[in-house]
Structure 1
């Protein structure tokens, strides 16, 4: 059997990689449950911490979305449902440890996950039919995040009298 006759196999990530990712995200998720430092208990600090939700779940999606199975039309809603359930669990636990339950944080988590998925999809093997969809998804979710983060910009401008 020649090399051309061998079936094309997709390279699999090392077995240890998913477990390292899970452990890393469990350790990072502990940041959601520690009390907010006094220095960050103001409008600007809160807005900066809220951006952390987007960044964390963007990294979460970049790390774990490739391990999901199926076509994007089924795995995307399934992954976002998992992110929603995980976010709901985190917010519920937060409310029992002295931090507030915020629906806005769940929205930020979903926005971060969609951003991570759109980045992941953008760098997949190019396919002409899906190029416009991937670019439009990346632009749309980036615009949504920018709109959601406008209060942070306004608070920074008012704090530093920039404009």
Structure 2
């Protein structure tokens, strides 16, 4: 009788091979939006969760020994990645190691059958760990969702409204400039951005900038 071949581990392995280089190439730049930078960090959760899922797809869901082995492996590999990133000019973020562990633990805890941990972890403890790790996941996702909602609201807010406070007794003249990533990566010419003069009177000042004017100013020189 022929053994049944499963394509799932192969597909998962290929996905990991595609995702792994993203730890060292690509990613958000300093000109990238806050949403891009925030969401990018969630990739650590996805990648190492996928690593554990692939391992278990090949070797099966194990017990306490597998937990210890995979936890140690994820911690070690995650630490090495951060050290390599620091050496390659990318900023090391040791919170990413926590995200790596969280992604791995989430897969292990939710795929762990209750009966298989009865000998070393009570059912109440299993569900407590599931609740704790899921709560930590929510704490990772909520800030990204808040940034996304804020950017969506700003994008739909026309004209743009903002306030400035002048604590002095005399007006202050200021120049407001608005530019995009194309301007930053280019020659940074003065006429390749939106410029306007503001007079900030003593106390609070409200300003309204029609974003269509900003768009027109940039489009006029391109």
What is the TM-score of this pair, normalised by structure 2?
0.55
Q: Greater RCO between the two (CA within 8 Å, min separation 6)? A: 1
The structure 2 residue matched to 1:117, chosen from 85, 108, 113, is 108
Q: Confirm whether residue 150 of structure 1 aligns to residue 142 of structure 2.
A: yes
* Structure 1 segment 53-64 matched on structure 2, within 5 A: 53-64=44-55
Task: Report how many residues are paired.
Answer: 149
What is the TM-score of this pair, normalised by structure 1?
0.71
Q: Confirm whether residue 48 of structure 1 aligns to residue 39 of structure 2.
A: yes
Question: Which deviations, in whole Å up to 9, do the C-alpha atoms of 1:116-139 show, x marking residues without a partner?
Answer: 111221xx4756945444433322
* Cα-Cα RMSD: 3.3
Moved more, 153-162 or 91-100: 153-162
Q: Whose radius of gyration is greater, 1 or 2?
A: 2
Question: Which deviations, in whole Å up to 9, do the C-alpha atoms of 1:105-162 show, x marking residues without a partner?
Answer: 11111100001111221xx475694544443332221111111333212222322239
Flag the structure with higher helix content. 1
| Structure 1 pair 40–18 and aligned structure 2 pair: CA distance change class (3 A) | farther
Structure 1 unaligned spans of 5+: 1-11
| Secondary structure of 1:149's aligned partner | helix
